[in-house]
Amino acid sequence: MRSLLFVPADSERKFEKALASGTDAIILDLEDSVAHANKTKAREIAAGLLRTAKQSTKRPALYVRVNALDTGLTDTDLDGVMREGPDGVFLPKSLTGADVQHLAAKLAVREAEYGLADGATRIVAIATETAQAIFGLGTYRGASHRLEAITWGAEDLSADIEAETPRHADGTYTTPFAIVRAMALFAAHAAESLAIDTVYPNFRDSAGFRADCELARRDGFLAKMAIHPDQVPVINEIFTPPAHEIARAQKIVALFAENPGAGVIGLDGEMLDRPHLRRAERLLKRI
Name every residue whose Cβ is closer than 8 Å to that of residue 118 and which is 6 or more positions away in sequence.
Answer: 108, 111, 112
Q: Is 28 helix (H, G, I), strand (E, B) or coil?
A: strand
User: What local confidence, expressed as pLDDT, does residue 127 receive?
Assistant: 97
Contacts of 233 (CB under 8 A, 6+ apart): 21, 22
List domains and CATH numbers for the chain: 3-238 (3.20.20.60), 243-285 (no CATH)
Query: pLDDT at position 286, please?
Result: 76
> Percent helix, strand, coil in the chain (nearest 5)?
50, 15, 35
Measured between alpha carbons, how far is residue 166 from residues 24, 79, 120 in Å?
27, 35, 36
Question: What is d(CA 124, CA 144) in angstroms, rounded to the nearest whole number?
Answer: 11
Q: What angle do CA 121, 122, 127 make, to 5 degrees?
A: 140
Neighbours of 93 (CB within 10 A): 23
**pLDDT at res. 191:** 97
What does the pLDDT read at residue 156? Answer: 95
CA distance 181 to 154: 8
- The most distant pair of C-alpha atoms in the chain lies apart, rounded to whole Å, by 64
pLDDT along the chain (287 residues), means of 10: 97 96 98 95 97 92 98 98 98 98 98 97 98 98 98 96 94 96 98 97 94 96 97 97 84 87 85 85 78
Write down the pTM of the prediction. 0.89
Q: Is 171 left (phi over 0), alpha (psi -120 to 50) or beta?
A: left
What is the Rg, in whole angstroms, of the alpha carbon atoms belonging to the chain? 20
What pLDDT shows up at residue 48? 97
The 3-state secondary structure of 37-99 reads HHHHHHHHHHHHHHHHHCCCCCCCEEEEECCCHHHCCHHHHHHHHHHHCCCEEEECCCCCHHH
